[in-house]
Structure 1
Amino acid sequence: MPSKSRLRADARRNSEQIRSAAIGAFQGRGLTVPLEEVARAAGVSKATIFNRFGGRIGLIEAVIEEVVATELFAVIDRMRTIDDPGEQITYYLTALRDLQYRQPAVNDVLLRIYPHSPQLMEICRVGSAANDELVAAARAAGVVRPEFTAGDLHALVADNALALKHGERPARDAYDRRTAYLLDGIRR
């Protein structure tokens, strides 16, 4: 019979394998990847995911920092270092749309697919606050249309997330061209 220390080592190894598989799956395909696929990639059973993480929400909580938060918060932090509000909004929308294109899990977070995840909802709160701050500064500087609101920015981001999640994925050059159209449409 295996010793307790052996079981703990196996449990740690399984947890790390599950985390690694989840990070790869979620980054590549979003947070809705079937847990069976994560388990298969980790070389464990789906029951092991439930035993170690309590299910999908627990697994999301265990990896959301690596999958979404680090990059999204880096975009927000970089935006805040830019002094010019016009350059700020250009950088932020371009970088955020790039992140949405590259990381499907970002769209799941922005769409609040799993509202029972406190960490996911905190990421949304921080992102919403950054959107509000950005639009307020851009409006005060007169670099966006006067009728453009933080609600408009939230809707544009959510619309893009829905299109990328449920629509046909556009070619990158067409997607980038549409980012430019978006920026031209909101600038003053």
Structure 2
Amino acid sequence: MSATGEATSPSRLRADARRNADQIRRAAIDAFQDNGLSVPLEEVAKAAGVSKATIFNRFGGRIGLIDAVIEEVVATELHPIIDRARAIDDVGERLVGYVSDIRDLQYRRSAFVDVMLQTYPDSPGLVELCRVGGDFNDELVAAARAAGVLREDFTASDLHALLRDNALSLKHGGRPSREDYDRRTVFTLEGIRA
């Protein structure tokens, strides 16, 4: 029975459940992109017009919700960055483009900072994005070293650390102006090139 005393059909319930799940997904995408993956679930629920319990009923909690939206929140931007870099023939330009694009994504999307820091290691979707990014970092550094465009002592681990340290700084430090941030990207690139 519904609140009005009418019988609630299973198809009506399924439609309501689907609508709630869609509303939660849309609210989570917006909240996670702008505020990171740690945004309180109460905020997501409020934006979706549902209770926090509904998030748990539909997605099992934060990890399930992250996995349900991580493609839209982060992967839709990370994969094109990697594809653009792979399309650049000159390895030095590929390195500059990739590092600049990743730092830009870190600056614009708090959720990507959480992915870089593996804030939720129990999320298979988040861990998979880290693996994809890490594999490309390794591939890029190997190509750049072979082409002689990187310092001889610069390794794939160093690139991982540079990008992770930048994520830590953005998450826990003061957020610089965009102008200062971009200027520091140039310093970073100049410091690692041969």
Q: What interval of TM-score do these two structures reach, taking the shorter chain for normalisation?
A: over 0.9
Alignment of 1:40-79 (within 5 A): 40-79=46-85
Alignment of 1:79-94 (within 5 A): 79-94=85-100
CA distance in 1, matches of 2:172, 2:79: 25
CA distance in 2, matches of 1:90, 1:127: 16
**Which of the numbers 153, 161, 174 marks the counterpart of 1:155?**
161
Aligned length in residues: 188
TM-score (norm 2): 0.96
Say whether 1:130 aligns with 2:133: no
- Indicate the RMSD between aligned Cα atoms, in angstroms: 0.5
Structure 2 SS opposite 1:169 = coil
CA distance in 2, matches of 1:59, 1:31: 10
Cα distance per residue 1:69-116 (max 9 Å; x no partner): 110111011111111110010000000000000001001001001111
Q: Which amino acid aligns with 2:191?
A: G
Which residue is equivalent to 2:125? 119
Q: Which amino acid aligns with 1:133?
A: E
CA distance in 2, matches of 1:121, 1:180: 29
Say whether 1:37 aligns with 2:43: yes
Q: Which amino acid aligns with 1:10?
A: D
Cα distance per residue 1:136-164 (max 9 Å; x no partner): 00000000100000000000000000011
**Which of the numbers 33, 38, 41 marks the counterpart of 1:27?**
33
What are structure 1's unaligned runs of at least 5 residues?
Answer: none
Q: Which has the larger radius of gyration?
A: 2
Q: Which amino acid aligns with 1:113?
A: T
CA distance in 2, matches of 1:137, 1:154: 15
CA distance in 2, matches of 1:95, 1:154: 15
Say whether 1:103 aligns with 2:93: no
Deviation beyond 2 Å, 4+ runs, structure 1: none
What are structure 2's unaligned runs of at least 5 residues?
Answer: 1-6
CA distance in 1, matches of 2:76, 2:156: 23
Cα distance per residue 1:146-184 (max 9 Å; x no partner): 000000000000000001111111000000000000001
Q: Which amino acid aligns with 1:87?
A: E
Per-residue deviation, 1:119: 1.1
Per-residue deviation, 1:2: 1.4
